[in-house]
Amino acid sequence: MAEVLNAALQASSQDLSVTFITDEKTPFAGVADVTAWLGVGVFGVSVGGQDENVTQVHMSRVIGQARQLRQVSRSVAVVVVSDDPAFLTTFAEWSQRERLLVWSTRLIVLSRVPLHRLHHLHKTLAMTNSMLIVLITPSRPLGCFVYIHLPYVKPEALPLRIASCRSKESLMIEFHQPPFPDKFRRFSDGTQLTVARVPLPNYVTKVVDDPEAPGGKRVIILNPEVILLEVIAEVMNFNFMFLEPDDGTWGAKRLDGSWSGMVGMTQRKEADIGLGHFAISLERSTAIDFAYPIVFANARILGGRGQGEVVSWSFLLPLGPLVWVGILVTLMVVLTALQLLPHCLPPNASDEKILFINTATCVRI
């Protein structure tokens, strides 16, 4: 198994930290042989046998710890090793619920379970940056097949096989395609997405003739974000339909932890996309993924100035304590200079009244 994982990780051409999640029934002894430049973490989940609640509790705790590790790591690959279909189903459920897997996280599922018994993993593997490695060991030599699941295809559709491996003197994996391709660059024909949106008063609509539309009419929305979505749909090859939330809101977290509005629809998978100028916040990022920002806006808080008031002595308002101290010090310096300068004059030019006049002038000022 370690040889298979090393080949898959090296083919990704990126330094990763590897997080293993295994069950007690499927021990993985090759952890020390896995090459990971940024470190390796191992989480074991106790399987409760007939008591599924034990597995659920342990899985929720492990997923939470693995998510914390993912948040503080630069590049992460989550490797799930199990030959128990029930364990893999529980992992798929909790990884989506706790948002362990974001697109930057790479998922590798390693199992000996036949492919036809792993159909319940289709949704998780299709919507994440993931690979499925199925080991085939009925007899030696060891072999495997590597699959990827494409998004927005029927669950019964076969996954795409991108590599196979065989073992002679050493294990060799031949990748026919990149191990972690960009599955969302362009979809297959007929992909239909649901877009959540809230109509705003500034939406501009136009009705045009369209023989293929119901009733022969088609409504065109001329707002920038809708036009941008149409361009993206044409490039990525998908169709879409709008769906409005029942409460007509963008989305906020309720007291019970659930979400309202478009954020709630996207989190519950009732809609594939939420269209609008969403404010990016840490709280919302725990429920949904944001696209790259296309608009940057500054928010300000404004307040009224109130009515103007006329004060006769308002000219004194700028004269603070330091200003008054400065004025008094300056007058003292001037008065001192005026008192000393007459002593520099010849005796016949001095006037006894000068000292009194200078003092009176400074006091008047």
Q: Structural domain tally of the chain?
A: 3
Tell whether 10 and 108 lie within a shared domain: yes
pLDDT at res. 32: 62
Q: 300-358: per-residue pLDDT in tens?
A: 888 887 777 788 888 777 888 888 899 889 988 988 888 887 777 776 656 667 777 77
Taking the C-alpha atoms of residue 20 and residue 95, their distance in angstroms, rounded to an integer, is 13
291 within some domain: no
Higher-confidence position of 190 and 125? 125
Higher-confidence position of 177 and 246? 246
- Of 285, 310, 333, the one marking the end of a domain is 285
Q: 93-140: per-residue pLDDT in tens?
A: 888 888 888 888 889 998 888 888 888 888 889 888 898 988 876 545
- Of 259, 285, 311, the one marking the end of a domain is 285
pLDDT at res. 194: 92
Tell whether 210 and 159 lie within a shared domain: no
pLDDT at res. 241: 87
Tell whether 233 and 108 lie within a shared domain: no
- Contacts of residue 148, defined as CB under 8 A and 6 or more positions apart, other chains included, come to 125, 130, 131, 132, 159, 160, 162, 177, 181, 183
Q: Which domain range does residue 209 map to?
A: 192-285
Higher-confidence position of 55 and 191? 191
For the ranges 211-220, 221-230, 272-281, 339-348, the one whose mean pLDDT is highest = 272-281
180 within some domain: no
294 within some domain: no
Tell whether 44 and 148 lie within a shared domain: yes
Tell whether 168 and 203 lie within a shared domain: no
Q: 81-93: per-residue pLDDT in tens?
A: 888 888 898 898 8
342 within some domain: yes
Mean pLDDT (the chain) is: 81
305 within some domain: no
- Of 175, 203, 219, the one marking the end of a domain is 175
CATH number at residue 166: 3.40.50.2300
Higher-confidence position of 236 and 46? 236
352 within some domain: yes
Task: Tell me the one-letter amino acid at 169.
Answer: E
